[in-house]
Chain A
């Protein structure tokens, strides 16, 4: 009897199960006639104990630009990498054109007409645009460059790109290279385009051009996803915005019905003020006088061309320019890391009243002169910090030589590390965690914290908020501002013109290694600076 009941129950369960799975499959198999190009359902991805994406649901329609907005580490790139076949989701479903698909490799993604334009271009420098575009295409017979060039021209004309198929990549500007990348995926027939931070490297003018092209592609029925953290771009370009926060999907809003502060709140999880305070410089004195610096790099290219300017105490001097216009060389020259062909770097010592020429001095010699120069380099983990060392050991970089002992004193650096972790709210398990494990914002806090702890008289910071989330960015702006109030001459190399205009007292614009203008931060406009950035006094690769 008991057995009978058991068997009966068992049968029922099986019946139910079969029914259920049937229902499931019909639901899945049904081709939904919507305009959804791609649809994500409950996508989850974890790396070890870190949840990169949790139950993310997303829909992108044809003929639509969707922005994915989120701070660093919110899982934007991970999500896109799952669509483009680089990662495989732990759970969840992906639908393309209404059908569930499995994307296990970039090749699969390509078969589903998904094209991703990465932040870092993947192009062969010595090849021409056309050669790069057809590279790796499996077509029968010989490569027909001429036919390819013709096809490329067609695509370019259709969407309004400007491209010369025969130009070599190494002769191209960043924005031209980006054009090649975009055409590359279009040439392969992509219908769904994913762009990862496409405007990070562009001038305002180039950004406008790119947006025009993207709009035309949208009108042609393509689905476009753009990853960004710049709010004004989101508002001006996209139709809808999906917001991620710490790997979780917050929601999607129509761009027309939202505004900056609402988006920020969704992104950060709380209201924050987006204003950068700017105090009047107090008693500015000439601290660093740079006179006609010239520098030719190893390849024989003139990277600094007769650069002169003055940095004053109690003031933030911004440096604007297209990436690679000589900003790095300029700062490194001041820090004693770059040999100069001629010019002078005069430092007015506020303590002694003496003037020293820092040119051709090593960083050690500069320090021995009593010059308190702090430098936050662009390459944080490759120059400012050692990624594999813990926070304490990184604190020692500047100070380990102190004292006569042959042994290291870890007490001071440990205290400093604890202090910085507490004051700047560095998120880390402890002070003995290797800095490479920290997120970008926390790495930067550690670096800036250390440089400020040396109580500098000149503080140079190259792209200090690159890749940082809003909260961390504002922490950094506040730190720079407080240094300014302490009478430090702050030099800030930035890429976001909105920030430069809000933060800096004066802005030095450089183009192709020479100064193209110095404007007042209180009166300058973005367009004005943008024009100065592309103006060049002679030749140069962007000329």
Chain B
């Protein structure tokens, strides 16, 4: 008791109060400051660890993303490739979003995309040359979407009817998908390699048509359409409204007569179907191959993108771009400077962390104690 009394402190030096909604402009400024602070911290780390000039490294990162135009082609290859990678990440983020908005924690995007890849690859091998290429593409597309959806529906049915934990379930489904892919490769290729190489390399069966001399431009177009559709679906459709209601409060949903089970299964199916679509795009429009690590953890990164964008499809565009550009750029920079590539990972995580930390400043206001009474009577 006594020790409390002797303390002279009137008011804590810093105290934190909750903000009302923050304007978009203010939030943008806060986030830009966050990124600047992150780059500053990163610079110190780069100097401390590698002794390189951080500005040089940032410049190399920039070049790694944008690249320099290749002579005589007019096309800046690297630039489009980075955009494509960002678009794929964006599309997976869009896929997980409806489920997340419904508070269905689908962390199985990785597996759902992989199943889409597997299905597409299977169709390429099985039907390549037997049907017209455009028919083959349609088959691949439809099959991948269906398989992706089925992969997601399984846990959602169990969730809807027996209230199983969807997080564990979808996670486990990832491993099942990976094992299936390994098995598929083993069956198709007895030599024991971990991938099948480029499928239909000579014939080009099941490849998306080239646009501007690039195969993956088509993907970017598809993803643009998906982004717009998802934005409209979530914001303006009745189903999107139902998703929000179920996500906010299942009791309210029941109260107004929404069939909660149906909405859960339908929404997760959509989520899985888009993942399947991504699988199709990766195989038909980019990699033309299959291996169990083909998705490369983007199914998990997408979760973060979706969250950081607060489930807003439009905000996901800059966020997925930022994440992909950071990782592409830092990969390039670390190899150019022959420094350990974990520096790149550290850099990326510092930036992501600081963006997440910005969340604190958009929600709360930090007040400092005002200097008190200057001779005021």
A467 within 8 A of B: no
| Contacting pair B237 A382 (CB below 8 A) | no
| Contacting pair A388 B248 (CB below 8 A) | yes
Partner of A101, one of B5, B19, B249: B5
Cβ proximity bits B1-20 to A, threshold 8 Å, 1 near / 0 not: 10011010111100101111
Residue of A nearest to B3 (CB): A111
| Contacting pair A337 B254 (CB below 8 A) | yes
A98 within 8 A of B: no
| Contacting pair A111 B4 (CB below 8 A) | yes
Question: Contacts A49-B20, A112-B1, A386-B244: A408 and B238 contacting too (C-beta < 8 A)?
Answer: yes
Cβ proximity bits B215-247 to A, threshold 8 Å, 1 near / 0 not: 000000000000000000000111111001100
Residues of A within 8 A of B28 (CB): none
What is the bound-complex CA distance between A88 and B18, given in angstroms? 14
| Contacting pair A17 B4 (CB below 8 A) | no
B256 within 8 A of A: yes
Whole-angstrom distance from the CB of A463 to the nearest CB of chain B?
16
Residue of A nearest to B375 (CB): A17
Partner of B237, one of A362, A367, A397, A406: A406
What is the bound-complex CA distance between A327 and B277, given in angstroms? 50
Residues of A within 8 A of B255 (CB): 335, 337, 363, 375, 377, 383-384
B130 within 8 A of A: no
Residues of A within 8 A of B10 (CB): 102
Question: Contacts A16-B375, A363-B256, A383-B249: A48 and B365 contacting too (C-beta < 8 A)?
Answer: yes
Residue of A nearest to B254 (CB): A337
What is the bound-complex CA distance between A385 and B251, given in angstroms? 10
| Contacting pair B375 A13 (CB below 8 A) | yes
Which chain A residues numbered 380 to 424 have a C-beta less than 8 Å away from chain B? 381-389, 393, 396-398, 400-401, 405-408
Whole-angstrom distance from the CB of A176 to the nearest CB of chain B?
29
Whole-angstrom distance from the CB of A114 to the nearest CB of chain B?
12
Residues of B within 8 A of A13 (CB): 375
Question: Contacts A48-B365, A382-B252: A363 and B257 contacting too (C-beta < 8 A)?
Answer: yes
Residues of B within 8 A of A382 (CB): 249, 251-252
Residues of A within 8 A of B254 (CB): 337, 363
A206 within 8 A of B: no
Residue of B nearest to A396 (CB): B241
B71 within 8 A of A: no
Which of under 10, 10 to 19, 20 to 34, or 35 or more describes the interface residues of A?
Answer: 35 or more
| Contacting pair A393 B241 (CB below 8 A) | yes
Residues of A within 8 A of B365 (CB): 48
Whole-angstrom distance from the CB of B175 to the nearest CB of chain A?
34
| Contacting pair A48 B17 (CB below 8 A) | yes
What is the bound-complex CA distance between A400 and B257, given in angstroms? 11
A-B contact count (CB 8 A): 92
B377 within 8 A of A: yes
Residues of A within 8 A of B5 (CB): 99, 101-102
What is the bound-complex CA distance between A193 and B40, given in angstroms? 52
Question: Contacts A48-B18, A49-B20: A408 and B237 contacting too (C-beta < 8 A)?
Answer: yes
A379 within 8 A of B: yes
Whole-angstrom distance from the CB of B229 to the nearest CB of chain A?
12
Residues of A within 8 A of B375 (CB): 13, 16-17, 20
Residues of A within 8 A of B237 (CB): 406-408
Residue of A nearest to B255 (CB): A383
| Contacting pair A111 B1 (CB below 8 A) | yes
Partner of B241, one of A46, A49, A364, A408: A408
Question: Contacts A13-B375, A407-B238: A48 and B257 contacting too (C-beta < 8 A)?
Answer: no
Which chain A residues numbered 472 to 493 have a C-beta less than 8 Å away from chain B? none
Whole-angstrom distance from the CB of A364 to the nearest CB of chain B?
4
What is the bound-complex CA distance between A49 and B18, given in angstroms? 10
What is the bound-complex CA distance between A363 and B244, given in angstroms? 19
| Contacting pair A102 B7 (CB below 8 A) | yes
Residues of A within 8 A of B18 (CB): 47-48
Cβ proximity bits B138-157 to A, threshold 8 Å, 1 near / 0 not: 00000000000000000000
Whole-angstrom distance from the CB of A183 to the nearest CB of chain B?
23
| Contacting pair A108 B4 (CB below 8 A) | yes
Cβ proximity bits B321-342 to A, threshold 8 Å, 1 near / 0 not: 0000000000000000000000
| Contacting pair B12 A88 (CB below 8 A) | yes
What is the bound-complex CA distance between A405 and B254, given in angstroms? 22
| Contacting pair A101 B4 (CB below 8 A) | yes
| Contacting pair A383 B241 (CB below 8 A) | no
Residues of A within 8 A of B257 (CB): 336, 362-364, 367
Question: Contacts A48-B365, A408-B238: A383 and B9 contacting too (C-beta < 8 A)?
Answer: no
A104 within 8 A of B: yes
| Contacting pair A400 B238 (CB below 8 A) | yes
Residue of A nearest to B372 (CB): A91
Having A102-B7, A388-B248, one finds 20 other A-B pairs with CB under 8 Å, namely A16-B375, A48-B19, A48-B20, A88-B12, A102-B5, A108-B4, A335-B255, A336-B257, A362-B259, A379-B251, A382-B251, A386-B248, A386-B249, A386-B252, A396-B241, A397-B245, A398-B256, A400-B238, A407-B237, A407-B238
Instruction: State the B residues within 8 Å of A (CB).
Output: 1, 4-5, 7, 9-12, 15, 17-20, 236-241, 244-245, 248-249, 251-252, 254-257, 259, 365, 375, 377
> Nearest 5 pairs between A and B by C-beta?
A363-B257, A364-B257, A383-B251, A386-B248, A111-B1
Instruction: State the A residues within 8 Å of B (CB).
Output: 13, 16-17, 20, 46-49, 88, 90-91, 99, 101-102, 104, 108, 111-112, 335-337, 362-364, 367, 375, 377, 379, 381-389, 393, 396-398, 400-401, 405-408
Can you pick out 15 interface pairs between chain A and chain B where the beta carbons lie within 8 Å of each other? A88-B12, A91-B11, A102-B5, A111-B1, A363-B257, A377-B255, A383-B251, A383-B255, A388-B248, A389-B248, A397-B245, A400-B241, A401-B238, A408-B237, A408-B241
